[in-house]
């Protein structure tokens, strides 16, 4: 299991298709950063937490039947997910609430075989800090 998702807090998790690619980005959220004109130091008040997470998923050579349930699931707000991440201890699974900020999908046809296949990419952005996350 790389990721599971559910549409509401009270729903059960569904194991989702394993992506072809999976990337984790951490980003500090700050407000009104500036450099002091007297000392040259950067003053950077952090909003919420450090290293808010964004997960990028890519699915290649998928059928329409494989893409449809993923698109249906990621259309929920908020979206609840369990994700494998090396940043969380021994079992490496974290449960997050967030949203899909961007997605792209296309259906293609193999010219040699005439078979249709699809590609899907999307970003899941963490919406709330979780226990044990950086302060």
Residue 56 lies in a domain: yes
Task: Tell me how many domains the chain contains.
Answer: 1
Residue 132 lies in a domain: no
Residue 22 lies in a domain: yes
Residue 94 lies in a domain: yes
Closest CA to 87 of 122, 121, 52, 59: 52
Residue 31 lies in a domain: yes
Task: State the pLDDT at residue 40.
Answer: 83
Residue 133 lies in a domain: no
Residue 135 lies in a domain: no
Residue 51 to residue 129: CA distance in whole angstroms = 10
Strand, coil or helix: 67: helix
Task: State the pLDDT at residue 31.
Answer: 66
Residue 134 lies in a domain: no
Per-residue pLDDT reduced to its tens digit, 15-68: 999 999 999 887 666 667 777 788 888 776 665 555 677 899 999 999 989 999
Q: At residue 130, does pLDDT exceed 80?
A: no
Residue 127 to residue 78: CA distance in whole angstroms = 8
**Mean pLDDT over all residues of the chain?**
84
Phi, psi of 96 (to 5 degrees): -130, 155
Boundaries of domain holding 85: 3-126
Kindly give, in sequence order, each residue whose CB lies less than 8 Å from that of residue 83, ignoring residues fewer than 6 positions away.
Answer: 2, 3, 55, 93, 94, 96, 124
- The two tokens of residue 4 are 């599971």
Pairing of strands 3-6, 52-62: unpaired
Phi, psi of 61 (to 5 degrees): 55, 50
């Amino acid at each position: 299991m790389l990721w599971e998702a559910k549409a509401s807090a009270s729903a059960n998790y569904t194991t989702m298709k394993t992506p072809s690619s999976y990337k984790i980005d951490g980003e500090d959220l700050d407000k009104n950063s500036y450099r002091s004109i007297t000392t040259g130091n950067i003053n950077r008040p952090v909003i919420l937490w450090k290293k808010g997470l964004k997960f990028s998923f890519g699915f290649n050579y998928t059928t329409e039947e494989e893409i449809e349930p993923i698109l249906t699931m990621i259309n929920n707000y908020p979206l609840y997910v369990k994700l494998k991440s090396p940043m969380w201890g021994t079992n490496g699974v974290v449960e997050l609430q967030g949203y899909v900020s961007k997605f792209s999908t296309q259906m293609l046809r193999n010219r040699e075989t005439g078979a249709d296949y699809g590609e899907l990419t999307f970003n899941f952005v963490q919406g709330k800090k979780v226990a044990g996350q950086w302060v």
